Structure 1
């Protein structure tokens, strides 16, 4: 097995940081949408609005999970660096592998969330096309 160096997990820092920024932006956008939908639903109890609220709720929970797995991945990368620093190479390799697995899960959830988002937008587009 090849030696894992401090620079290997450190390479993921910038990538994970950018991913987390994108996730946070998604979360903030959803928060604004939820507030808007809430206000509209208070005025008119429309079934379409209720469906939109359910859709955004599902996307919000996915985004939360994406953030949790992404942050956990970063945490395990830092732990990997610490283990390398204290010369626990064998454990460091396994911890880094786990960090990569968490990042894979986070990105996989992003794919699912994007598919749900596209379906929601397709409903809006079909409304426009039908009118």
Structure 2
């Protein structure tokens, strides 16, 4: 099968959208880190904040690597298109394979980062569920009357 110029060009939109998603994740993590840093300065003895900061540092490293491999894939895609334009099809095939492998690595790292963030959110939910269980016993909260509605 011969690689055509349109094949690596198809990756452009996919890689661009992927990089946008990675950048959004980076900005969300940066916002969380700034918020936790502020909380840490207010009460540095809270252990959960330190644990969350370690988790966020790991996620930040993963996002950096996701972006790195995504950009590398994008660059290889551009080089592949140039090589195809110049008529070097055999070399272009290998560069395209490198671009696809780089994209695959980026997506794999993304999967790991998603697993870590999901685990962190589940820990946060577990803390809130524990507080909620202490406040209400069993199904009492379903049958409890809303006093605000009764007052109107």
Segments of structure 1 that go 5 or more residues without pairing to the other structure are none
TM-score with structure 2 length normalisation? 0.85
Secondary structure, aligned partner of 1:3: coil
Alignment match, 2:66: 66
Residue 109 of structure 1 pairs with residue 109 of structure 2:
yes
**Bigger relative contact order, structure 1 or 2 (CA pairs below 8 A, ≥6 apart):** 1
Alignment match, 1:47: 47
Paired residue total: 130
**Which whole-Å CA distance do the structure 2 matches of 1:128 and 1:121 have between them?**
11
Deviation at residue 129 of structure 1 after TM alignment = 1.1
Alignment match, 1:7: 6
TM-score with structure 1 length normalisation? 0.98
Q: Please say which structure displays the higher CA radius of gyration.
A: 2
Counting only pairs closer than 5 Å after superposition, residues 15-94 of structure 1 correspond to structure 2 as 15-45=14-44, 46-94=46-94
**Which 4+ stretches in 1 moved above 3 angstroms?**
none
